[in-house]
Chains A and B, each alone.
Chain A
Amino acid sequence: MALMTKTRERRPRSFYFLAAFFALFVLFLYGPMLTIFILSFQGENGGLTFPMNGFSFHWFGNLFEQQAVGDFGGSFGRSLKLGLIVMVVTVVVSFMAGLAFRKRFRGDSVVFYLALASLIVPSILISLGIGLLFNIVQWQPQWFTSALGAHLTWTFPFGLLIMFAVFNRFDPSFEEAARDLGASNWQTIQHVVLPMVGPSLIGVAMFSFTLSYDEFARTLMTAGALNTLPLEIYGMTTNVTTPVLYALGTVTTGFSFLVIALALGTVAVMRHRKGQKA
């Protein structure tokens, strides 16, 4: 394929300039990540910068000793659970909202503009507002109540916008066909709509999980007494001056990559299956 395009038309000079620019951009994106990945294997006596003083897993071991660097295990567990709850709720609610928005209804633009507002209102305002609200009505902020709500205001707009994009390109004749064949509303959704929008829902799932898992500002005043992982990491940046910080970075980034790979893999499998059926 590449060979064919080459013979078809010569690349203009600007192509090489832009390709170089793009390569630099990718280096800019990944370079810093790569340096902390390497430095997290720093020897026991090594510091926060190069040179490497030997090679060890010392800092990874250090990460899992509770007293040394705060409560990594506990906060990781909470962030994981919170991310999964946010993911499930966002997928279900966004899908429902996406279906609702296929018809016009009174108040549809209100919900739409609320979603946009939710996207552009600075995160710290959400944090402050929910924190104040809980303070005034004297509810105890918890990661599974106030922080959950704060995260949903961040993931719903993404979920809804993705659903808009999906249903704008969705051919309703498939549903009509199902209904003509006597399928009920629920059967139509289950056997026709869901399989068609499935890959996009996986996208929504991955988006909402990772957005929640990494969210800091919206969690600041809403997490209550127990930290989520980003809060824990933030605390560490101010009082930890060893490569254990990089070990933490490597572990959480590795975990994010795992989630992304899982999502992409699932989409690939779904596409493949669909291809086989058709």
Chain B
Amino acid sequence: MASDTSKRSSYFLITPMALIFAVFLVIPLLTIVVVSFWDYDEYRILPDFILENYSYLLSSSVTWSIYLNTLKYAALTWFFTLVIGFTVAYFLAFHVRSLTWQIVFFMLCTIPFWTSNIIRMISWIPFLGRNGLLNSALINLGIVDQPLEFLLFSDFAVVLADVHLYALFMVVPIFNSMMRIDRSLVEAARDAGASGFETLKSVIVPLSKPGIAIGSIFVITVVMGDFITVRLMSGGQSASVGLQISNEIGLLQYPAAAASAVVLLITVLLIVTALLRLVDIRKEL
């Protein structure tokens, strides 16, 4: 009897969240799948069951090069955020000794995350631009005699902005994993004669793996679906899957956009499934 009431109260408590997910996540995703088989003309989308959206998408060489480009952004951003995120988390977890300073430094890293992404992208313009700070400095120092053109509106700028925006996604979960490592393990390794590097390699890195996996999932999925960083930072000169979808939306080619979206979703889910084999997320909270 008692467990009956408590079960009922659980259902009551979870209903609002379940409803929102149903209406604004599940049904929209199903809508995308359905519409990806529809036809369209310049003005409307027409209910139908055709495979042209997919066959056109998958047979176009543009699609493949766009996927390759997007994977390149994801891989580069993943690599740099991992190196930076791991190093920063390691510093915070093992070298900052007072809890107060750990919290202060951690907040310092976190605050930019709570400000506008678009503004954070724009803020690179005066630094990287043709007459920007970096070019002026390089010219004044005599390192180059002409402004470097590749700094802004390029692949370099896209990856730089992605790393800038998402490095925190690596810092937080890795830091979280590292804080749970029993400090006596580290001491035991040292007592057994392991050097700092050996301890890092055979104790800290393996035990930080769940954090690394969660951070990687975050960074890779967000870069795979991104379109605004690519559009702003490449100055319209590069493409990504997300940008392709947003362009098709702009042209009102919804079924084509839907087909691209389904393929993107499958790609992202495959990557995440692979990464989830490394970690049990529910245990990490």
Which residues does A use to contact B, with CB under 8 Å?
A: 1-2, 5, 11-12, 14-15, 18-19, 21-22, 25-26, 28-33, 35-36, 39, 48-50, 92-94, 96-97, 99-101, 103, 105, 107-108, 111-112, 114-118, 120-126, 128-133, 135-136, 149-150, 152-153, 156, 160-161, 164-165, 168, 185, 206-207, 210, 213-214, 216-217, 220-221, 230, 233-234, 237, 245-246, 248-249, 252-253, 256-257, 259-260, 264
Contacts and interface: CB of A to CB of B under 8 A. Distances in A.
Contacts of A18: 87, 90-91, 95
Interface of B: 6-7, 9-11, 13-14, 16-18, 20-21, 23-29, 31-32, 35, 45, 84, 87-88, 90-92, 95, 97-98, 105, 107-109, 111-112, 114-120, 122-127, 129, 131-133, 136, 164, 167, 196, 217, 221-222, 224-228, 232, 242, 245-246, 249, 254, 257-258, 261, 264-265, 268-269, 272, 281-282, 285
B116 A124 contact: no
4 closest cross-chain pairs (CB), A and B: A122-B225, A129-B28, A149-B24, A100-B13
A122 B224 contact: yes
Contacts of A248: 119
Nearest to B221: A120
Contacts of A216: 117-118, 228
B interface secondary structure, majority? helix
A36 B119 CA distance: 9
A105 B17 contact: no
B164 A96 contact: no
Contacts of A123: 225
B134 to A, nearest CB: 11
A234 B116 CA distance: 11
Given A105-B14, A111-B14, A111-B17, A36 B123 contact: yes
A30 B7 CA distance: 49
A249 B126 CA distance: 13
B88 A132 contact: no
Given A50-B133, A249-B119, A122 B114 contact: no
Contact of A22 (B17, B91, B97, B117): B91
Contacts of B11: 100, 105
Given A97-B13, A107-B18, 17 more contacts: A19-B91, A21-B91, A33-B123, A49-B129, A50-B133, A100-B13, A101-B14, A103-B7, A125-B225, A129-B27, A130-B28, A136-B35, A153-B24, A153-B25, A156-B20, A214-B114, A233-B119
Given A21-B91, A93-B16, A94-B17, A136 B123 contact: no
A49 B268 contact: no
19 contacts: A12-B196, A15-B95, A26-B108, A36-B122, A39-B126, A50-B133, A96-B17, A120-B217, A122-B225, A122-B261, A129-B27, A132-B35, A149-B20, A150-B24, A156-B17, A206-B114, A234-B118, A246-B122, A260-B111
Contact of A132 (B28, B126, B217, B272): B28
Contact of A32 (B18, B120, B131): B120
A130 B26 CA distance: 10
B13 A96 contact: yes
Contacts of B90: 18
Contacts of B226: 122
